[in-house]
């Protein structure tokens, strides 16, 4: 992190400049056997493509509200940073009927149809796979995002003091997200570059978002994000902690 970093998107740019090759997000889904590891550079590329989709094809503007109906997942992390890049307010688990646009996983499509604006659906299949058939009334993220540009420039500068995130009813500006993430670092055992945190927490609370994305990003660390970890068992989880060289956990 640099002293001038005041939004999550700023944190990602600094991480990219410092060490693009280091791991940033490693994702496991123990219901499917999926493992995905994204370096800073790969993650940033996904964020740029998603931000271009958001700003361009979806015509989102700073201050627009996006209902984010996704679980703890590497693609959710990408959307959170893409929203920060554009200046869109990410409302985690928010009411689609009150949102300008909605991004939904396969389990929330019915609820997402309450949004009168643009709707994007994610299949959340291994390797970012697409739906077998695009859900009616939705854009399939996996179909649309690959053709987007690899670099992103916002049409308007993002104000770090404007609302950037709503989670569990609490609204935070971009600057507050960065400040709180840094404040959480010591309690999470993140001591700086090289720290590797394994999180089994959902993304529907600040604690889950901080441990599963923002605090590792703010401190030069990385996160091992685990979904459906209850299927792994205590012994399997212990082996994962060892094999992934985890230095701290949040469960």
Please tell me the distance from the alpha carbon of residue 91 to that of residue 67, in angstroms, as a whole number.
Answer: 5
Structural domain of residue 218, as residue ranges?
Answer: 8-250
- Tell me, yes or no, whether 20 lies in a domain: yes
Contact 195, 204 (CB under 8 A): no
Residue 1 is assigned to a structural domain of this protein:
no
Specify the number of domains making up the chain. Answer: 1
* Residue 115 belongs to a domain: yes
Question: Is there a domain that residue 72 lies in?
Answer: yes
Residue 225 resides in a domain: yes
In tens digits, what is the pLDDT along the chain, a chain of 251 residues?
787 899 999 999 999 999 999 999 999 999 999 999 999 999 999 999 999 999 999 999 999 999 999 999 999 999 999 999 999 999 999 999 999 999 999 999 999 999 999 999 999 999 899 999 999 999 999 999 999 999 999 999 999 999 999 999 999 999 999 999 999 999 999 999 999 999 999 999 999 999 999 999 999 999 999 999 999 999 999 999 999 999 999 99
Does residue 3 lie within any of the structural domains?
no
Phi, psi of 6 (to 5 degrees): -125, 0
Give the CATH number for residue 54.
3.40.50.12780
pTM summary value: 0.98
Asked if residue 2 is part of any domain, the answer here is: no
Q: Report yes or no on 139 lying in a domain.
A: yes
């Amino acid at each position: 992190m640099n002293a001038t970093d005041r939004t999550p998107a700023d944190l990602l740019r600094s991480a990219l400049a410092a060490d693009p090759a280091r791991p940033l997000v490693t994702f496991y889904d123990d219901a499917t056997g999926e493992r995905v590891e994204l370096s800073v550079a790969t993650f940033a590329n996904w964020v740029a493509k998603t931000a271009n989709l958001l700003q361009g094809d979806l015509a989102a503007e700073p201050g627009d509200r996006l209902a984010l109906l996704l679980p703890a997942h590497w693609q959710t992390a990408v959307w959170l940073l893409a929203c920060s890049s554009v200046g869109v307010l990410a409302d985690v688990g928010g009411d689609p009927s009150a949102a300008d646009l909605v991004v939904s996983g396969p389990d929330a499509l019915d609820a997402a149809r309450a949004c009168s604006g643009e709707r994007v659906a994610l299949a959340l299949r291994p390797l970012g796979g697409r739906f077998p058939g695009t859900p009616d009334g939705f854009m399939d993220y996996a179909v649309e995002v690959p053709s987007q540009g690899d670099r992103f420039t916002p049409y308007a500068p993002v104000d770090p003091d404007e609302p950037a995130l709503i989670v569990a009813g609490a609204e935070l500006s971009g600057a507050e997200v960065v400040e709180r993430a840094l404040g959480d670092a010591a309690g999470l055992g993140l001591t700086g570059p090289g720290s590797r945190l394994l999180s089994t927490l959902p993304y529907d609370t600040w604690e889950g978002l901080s441990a599963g994305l923002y605090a590792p990003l703010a401190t030069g660390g990385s996160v091992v994000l685990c979904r459906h970890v209850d299927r792994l068992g205590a012994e399997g989880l212990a082996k994962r902690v060892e094999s992934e060289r985890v230095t701290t956990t949040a469960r």
